[in-house]
Structure formats: C-alpha cells, structure tokens
Chains A and B, each alone.
Chain A
Amino acid sequence: MYPSRFNYEAPRSLAEAIALLHDGGDYAKVLAGGQSLVPLMKLRFASPDLIVDINNVPGLDYHRADPDGTLRIGALCRHAELERSDLLKSTQPTMAAAAPLIADPIVRTRGTLVGSLCHADPQGDWASVVTALGGSVVAQGPAGRRTIPLAAFVTGPFENVLEPDEIAVEAVIPAAQGTRSGGYLKLERRVGDFATVGVAVAVETKGETVTRAGIGLTGVGGSTIAATEAAQALTGQPLTAESIGRAADLAAAAARPRTDHRGSADYKRHMVRTFVVRILSRGAVEERAA
C-alpha cells in the first residue's frame, strides 16, 4: 500500500516547521513517530498534501520534571524512552504502568506520547492516562504558545483543536499534591492490539486522605472517557473497600462500550469495574505496606 502523493519537508527548527505548516494550509500534517499517521496514509484515510517531518527539530526528545514536580514530555519523546524511564517509575505510577502496554516494543521505539494524544484515537492508551492525571497539551503556532487541557484538546474521534499551523510541542502532567499512586490495566487479545478495555487510575493522597483522583477509560466509547463521578467518589476520604467499590461501579456506569469482535458491551463494562478495583486495591495495599 502506498500513501497518495505528498510533498515532504524536514525542517531543522520549530519556527521553520510552523512557517511550513502556515504556508501549507489545511492539508499539511506533522510527522513525528508516524506509527499512526503512516498507516492512515497508506490506507488513504489521510491524504495530506504536505508532510512536515519534525524528527530533525532539536530539543523535542525530552521528558523531565520541573523543580515543582510538573512533568513535561516533548513531542519527540518515544514510548520506549518512557518505558525505560526511572523518573516515571519513581514518580508516575500510572504512566509507568501504561508505557510497556503501548502497541509493541518495535512500534514503541518510534511512536510518541504527544503524537498519540494528537491522533485522538478513542482506543489510544495515553489519552486515558493523561486524562486521569489532569494533563494538558502545549501547542505552538505563529502567535506563540497555548496550553490546552486534554479534555478540551480532543473534540472527537481522531479530532483535536490544533490550528493547521500549530504543533503540539509538549504534554504536561501537573505536579502531585501529595503521594501519587495508581496504575493502568489493559485487556488486549495479543500484544500490539488495540485495547478491548483500558483503565487508567491516578490517585493523590495526603496522609490517609485522597486529595485528588482521576479515572480515564480506553476503548469503551466514541472517545476517551473521563469517569469524573467515579473519581469524585474517592476524594476527601481514605481508600476503603467501600469507596473503591463505589468508584468502580460509577466508572462502569460511565463506560459506553459497544459489542464487537473484541467482546460484548456487558463484558467490557464488567472489565472496567474489575480493573478499577484491581488498580486501587493494589495501590491501597502498597500504601499500607509503606
């Protein structure tokens, strides 16, 4: 399969890339890892006139924490780098759990977290994780930078609010206001398949009390689902079997799964509940042990 014909530019600075997008108009696309865009182009679901390959733009292949704990992930930070990251293992349990579950190890050497957010696939794993953590995307265009909360960034399946001449340069995860726990569980038929169900849970606690919670659901609706009520059921109190059960019920209720070849809607809803309980019960056990 071949993509349809396009022009290709590989700029060496962000300013040059933005200028190319500005002149390229509506049919220009940014290429970073290419692990979603290239297949879409081969299937001709996407037929851009211009590809602006940002892989030669220096200074985008980072992930780092600010002194206050805010995590920043650059547009060229590959999944594989996040999978190997000691920083994530020590400070970001939900992200550290998700990184090894993205696609397969070969795809992870090229694909990027920021690209995954831009792609806005309802089955994308990172979007649920970043939703659970209350993260944002930083877009840069001719007029400068703006920070867009992920909930506002994604407007529908495969749709985001980027202007044609904007580049998503960074994803931002806010600093934890307490001790962070949580995880990501994914039910998949085999490595590399899209999630039948994915559940991301991120919890912050001070002492015994949950000060913030977020739950994101993958693959059980037309877009990534923020299970807000479920998360609220956890906050302001210690994690207990009762609060965990209530949150799991509410998360299952927030899911909008459809029956397909990966499973029935009932099964998927049941798995959402099961995953919320598993992630939080494990977190609660670890916390008690500490």
Chain B
Amino acid sequence: MTVVYEDHGDEAAGAEVPMRRIKFSINGQKKIAEVEPRLLLAHLIRRGLGLTGTHMGCDTTNCGACTVLVDGQPAKSCTMLAVQADGHEISTVEGLAGAAELHPLQEGFREEHGLQCGFCTPGMMMAAKALLDENPDPTEEDVRWALSGNLCRCTGYQNIVKSVLWAADKLRAEG
C-alpha cells in the first residue's frame, strides 16, 4: 500500500522512513498493511482501503464524522494511529449493510429523514451502532448521550434521534 504525502519540506532529507507491518480486520475481512507510524487510522481506511464512507470532518477530534468501531467500541479514527489497529477489528459504515438489504440503522435514517447533506451520517450510524449493540432498548436520552460526540450542521438532530430509535425498534422486532 502506498500513501503519498504532501512535501512541506519539513522532513529530514534522506531520512529513513519507519514502516510497520500490521494485521487487522476491516468489516470482517482480514488484512495486512505496511504503514508509516504517523499514518492516521482514518487515512488507512480512506486511502489505503478505499473505504471512503468514513468521512474526515474537523480533523481535530470534535465532529465525530470519522467515527468507526474498534473491537466494537466507537473511536474517532482521525485521532488514532493506523499502527494502533494492529491486532484489532475495525468496523466502518460499509460493513453495516448486508448483501441484499440495508442495516436497520440505514433504513431508519431513510425512513425518518435522518440526514440532509449526509456528511456526518456514517459517524452518526457507527456511534449509534455501538449504542444499540450495548443497549438494544435505548431511551431518547440514551440516544442523545451516545450521539453527543457527533456534530450535524443540517438536521438539528431531531430526526437523527428518531432514526436511531426507529432502528432500535426494528432490531428488537427482528429479535
């Protein structure tokens, strides 16, 4: 895997680039990657794996657009080094849907109009997935708590909360 960096002239000329080999899984598929330690997990996912559903918003650990699951726990992938994925299971929004049908969270966002521009949506869905995996019957307050690290500039959040509650209902009905 090759990652091309902008040359800002601030790297020591001819300095040896440290590389690490990591093994991890992404949406259930096992992978091996050669990464420079400073590569961020978000960039490994977007550039290395071509999974551009994980969005980079603020790049400063605020907005949550880059949220993925690491061993089932939500993490802001702009604030994790790719090397730290070594030995861990990463899940992104691409892993939500089955071959034939959408995940109930994705259905919920469609049914309840949980997105407008869609930029924050993958992060919202992954944060919501972590919540529903742990708490299948959340209250509205639980949903608001779980999504409080994700920013949306379009919807005012109301429909996002409704979407997650819709998905929770559907997942419970499916058993």
Residue numbers of A with Cβ under 8 A of B are 1-8, 10, 31, 34-35, 38-39, 41-43, 51, 53, 55, 80, 103-107, 109-110, 191-192
The complex places the Cα of A128 from the Cα of B81 at a distance, in Å, of: 29
Chain A residues contacting B150 (CB-CB under 8 Å) are 106
A sample of 5 cross-chain residue pairs with beta-carbon separation below 8 angstroms, ordered by A number, consists of A5-B36, A34-B80, A104-B64, A106-B127, A110-B79
B122: shortest Cβ distance to chain A, in Å? 13
The 10 A-B pairs at the shortest CB distance, nearest first, are namely A104-B149, A8-B37, A106-B149, A191-B148, A3-B38, A109-B73, A106-B74, A38-B79, A7-B18, A105-B149
Give the B interface residue count (CB, 8 A).
Answer: 36
> Which residues in window 81-107 of B have CB below 8 A to A?
81, 83-84, 86
Chain A residues contacting B62 (CB-CB under 8 Å) are 192
The complex places the Cα of A42 from the Cα of B58 at a distance, in Å, of: 12
Chain B residues contacting A4 (CB-CB under 8 Å) are 10-11, 38
Known: A4-B38, A6-B38. 16 other contacts (CB 8 A): A3-B38, A4-B10, A4-B11, A5-B11, A5-B12, A7-B18, A7-B37, A10-B83, A38-B61, A43-B60, A53-B84, A103-B149, A106-B64, A106-B67, A106-B150, A109-B74
Chain B residues contacting A34 (CB-CB under 8 Å) are 79-81, 84
Chain B residues contacting A191 (CB-CB under 8 Å) are 148-149
Instruction: Check B17 against A38 for contact (C-beta < 8 Å).
Output: no
The complex places the Cα of A104 from the Cα of B37 at a distance, in Å, of: 26
> Which residues in window 3-57 of B have CB below 8 A to A?
5, 10-12, 15, 17-18, 20, 36-40
The complex places the Cα of A1 from the Cα of B127 at a distance, in Å, of: 23
B96: shortest Cβ distance to chain A, in Å? 17
B44: shortest Cβ distance to chain A, in Å? 12
Main secondary structure of the interface of A (DSSP, over half): loop
Instruction: Check B83 against A8 for contact (C-beta < 8 Å).
Output: yes
Instruction: Check B74 against A35 for contact (C-beta < 8 Å).
Output: no
Chain A residues contacting B61 (CB-CB under 8 Å) are 35, 38-39, 107
The complex places the Cα of A109 from the Cα of B75 at a distance, in Å, of: 7
Query: B59 at the A/B interface (Cβ < 8 Å)?
Result: yes
The complex places the Cα of A1 from the Cα of B78 at a distance, in Å, of: 9
Return the contact of B80 from the options A2, A5, A38 (Cβ within 8 A).
A38
The complex places the Cα of A105 from the Cα of B149 at a distance, in Å, of: 6
Query: B161 at the A/B interface (Cβ < 8 Å)?
Result: no
The complex places the Cα of A192 from the Cα of B79 at a distance, in Å, of: 14
